[in-house]
Structure 1
Amino acid sequence: MPFIRSRLKTPGQRPSTLKSGRPIMDKAVVTALFKKDVLHLIKTKNLLLTLIIVPLIFSTVIPAALSGFVLFSDVKSMMDPAMLQMMDKMTAGLNAGEIHSLNEKFLYVFTNFLYPSLFLLIPIITSSAIAANSFAGEKERRTLESLLFSPITIKELFAGKLLASFLPSAAVSLASFILSGTVINTASYILMGHLIFPSAKWLVLILVLSPLVMIMTILLNIMISAKVKTYQEAQNIGGIIVLPVIGMLIGQFSGLFLLGIELMLILSLLVLLLNLFLFNRVLKYNNRNSLFENQIG
Structure 2
Amino acid sequence: MTQWMKWNWRGIRAVIRKDLLVVFKNRMVIAPMLILPIIFTLLLPLLVGVLYLNAPADDQGFSNAVGEFESLVQNIPLNDTAITTLESLKARSLYLIYMYLFVPFFLMLPVMTGSIVAADSFAGEKERKTLEALVHTPLSDFELYLAKWLSPLITAMILTLLSAVMYGIVVNGVMLSGFGRAIFPNWAWLVLLIWVAPAIACMGLGVTVWASSRVSTFQEAYQAGAFVILPITILFIGQAAGVIYFDVVISLILGAVVWAFDVFLYTLGARRFSRGAILSRLT
Q: TM-score, normalised to structure 1's length?
A: 0.86
The change in CA–CA distance for 1:95 and 1:164 in structure 2 (over 3 A counts) is closer
Corresponding residue number in structure 1 for 2:110:
123
Task: Decide whether the 8 Å contact of 1:76 with 1:102 is kept in 2.
Answer: no
Task: Decide whether the 8 Å contact of 1:70 with 1:106 is kept in 2.
Answer: no
Corresponding residue number in structure 2 for 1:84:
70
Between the aligned partners of 1:231 and 1:147, the Cα distance in structure 2 is 16
Corresponding residue number in structure 1 for 2:224:
237
Deviation, structure 1 residue 71: 1.1
Between the aligned partners of 1:175 and 1:80, the Cα distance in structure 2 is 30
Deviation, structure 1 residue 78: 3.9
Query: Given the alignment, which residue of 127, 133, 144 partners 2:131?
Result: 144
Secondary structure class of the residue paired with 2:191: helix
The change in CA–CA distance for 1:222 and 1:180 in structure 2 (over 3 A counts) is same
Between the aligned partners of 1:95 and 1:199, the Cα distance in structure 2 is 9
Query: Given the alignment, which residue of 191, 208, 215 partners 1:221?
Result: 208
Corresponding residue number in structure 2 for 1:54:
36
Shifted more, 106-115 versus 249-258: the winner is 249-258
Corresponding residue number in structure 2 for 1:261:
248
Corresponding residue number in structure 1 for 2:50:
68
Secondary structure class of the residue paired with 1:257: coil
The change in CA–CA distance for 1:96 and 1:245 in structure 2 (over 3 A counts) is closer
| Structure 1 residues not aligned, in runs of 5+ | 1-22
Task: Decide whether the 8 Å contact of 1:111 with 1:184 is kept in 2.
Answer: yes
Pairs within 5 Å for 1:125-274: 125-274=112-261
The change in CA–CA distance for 1:155 and 1:97 in structure 2 (over 3 A counts) is closer
Corresponding residue number in structure 1 for 2:16:
34
Deviation, structure 1 residue 240: 0.8
Letter in 1 for 2:227: I
Deviation, structure 1 residue 130: 1.1
Secondary structure class of the residue paired with 1:259: coil
Query: Given the alignment, which residue of 80, 97, 109 partners 1:110?
Result: 97
| Structure 2 residues not aligned, in runs of 5+ | none
Q: TM-score, normalised to structure 2's length?
A: 0.91
Deviation, structure 1 residue 89: 2.6
Report sequence identity in percent: 28
Between the aligned partners of 2:247 and 2:281, the Cα distance in structure 1 is 43
Letter in 1 for 2:254: L
Task: Decide whether the 8 Å contact of 1:123 with 1:173 is kept in 2.
Answer: yes
Q: Determine which structure has more spread, i.e. the larger CA radius of gyration.
A: 1
Q: Give me the CA root mean square deviation.
A: 2.0
Task: Decide whether the 8 Å contact of 1:25 with 1:155 is kept in 2.
Answer: no
Between the aligned partners of 1:186 and 1:91, the Cα distance in structure 2 is 25
Shifted more, 140-149 versus 98-107: the winner is 140-149
Q: Deviations over 1:67-116 (max 9, x none)?
A: 11221114852417544312333276647861111110111101221011
The change in CA–CA distance for 1:294 and 1:72 in structure 2 (over 3 A counts) is same
Between the aligned partners of 2:202 and 2:234, the Cα distance in structure 1 is 20
* Number of corresponding residues: 274
Q: Deviations over 1:108-140 (max 9, x none)?
A: 101221011122111111111111111110111
Shifted more, 168-177 versus 281-290: the winner is 281-290
Secondary structure class of the residue paired with 2:21: helix
Between the aligned partners of 1:113 and 1:61, the Cα distance in structure 2 is 17
Task: Decide whether the 8 Å contact of 2:175 with 2:181 is kept in 1.
Answer: yes
